[in-house]
Amino acid sequence: MDRFDRIPEIALAWHRAGKGAALATVVETWGSAPRRVGSQLAISGQGDIEGSVSGGCVEGAVVAEAMDAIEDGKPVMLEYGVSDGDAFAVGLACGGTIRVMVEPVGPVMPVALLEELVAARAAREPVAYVTGMTAKPRLARDGFDERFRMDRSGFEPDGETFVGIHNPPLRMIIVGAVHIAQALVPMARIAGYDPLLIDPRESFASAERFPGETIRHDWPDEGVRAFGLDARTALVLLTHDPKLDDPALEQALSSDVFYIGALGSTRTHAKRVERLRERGHGDAAIARIHGPVGLDIGAAGPAEIALSILAEVTRVLRRGA
What digits encode the pLDDT tens for the residues 57-78? 788 899 999 999 999 999 999 9
Instruction: Report residue 159 CA to chain centroid gap.
Output: 25
The percentage of the chain sitting over the pLDDT mark of 90, rounded to a whole number, equals 78
Residues 57, 120: Cα–Cα separation, whole Å? 31
Q: Please, how many CA atoms are within 13 Å of residue 170, restricted to the half-sphere of its CB?
A: 23
Strand order in the sheet with 138-140: 138-140, 127-131, 162-166, 154-155
* Mean pLDDT confidence for 19-45: 90
Average pLDDT over residues 129-148: 94
- Within a 10 A sphere around the Cβ of 272, how many other Cβ atoms? 21
Distance CA 177, CA 199 (A): 6
Cβ atoms of 83 and 65 within 8 Å: the answer is no
Please give the pLDDT value at position 90.
47
Distance CA 174, CA 85 (A): 51
According to DSSP, residue 198 is labeled: E
In the prediction, which pLDDT does 1 show?
36
pLDDT of 93 strictly over 60: no
Which of these ranges, 105-109, 112-116, 223-227, has the smallest mean pLDDT?
Answer: 223-227
Pinpoint the residues of the chain covered by CATH 3.40.50.720: 171-319
Instruction: Specify the pLDDT at position 5.
Output: 80
| Domain at 171-319: CATH code | 3.40.50.720
Residues 6+ apart with CB under 8 A from 226: 216, 218
Q: Which residues contact 124 (CB under 8 A, 6 or more apart)?
A: 168, 228, 230, 232
pLDDT above 70 covers what percent of the chain?
Answer: 93
Q: What is the pLDDT of residue 97?
A: 82
Mean pLDDT of 298-320: 94
Residues forming a β-bridge with 262:
237
Taking 80 as the threshold, does the pLDDT of residue 314 lie above it?
Answer: yes
pTM of structure: 0.76
Cα distance between residue 174 and residue 114, in whole Å: 34
List pLDDT tens digits, range 39-63: 999 999 999 999 988 876 788 899 9
Q: What is the CA radius of gyration of the chain?
A: 23
Q: What mean pLDDT, rounded, does the chain reach?
A: 91
Q: Does residue 2 carry a pLDDT above 70?
A: no
- Residues counted in the chain: 321
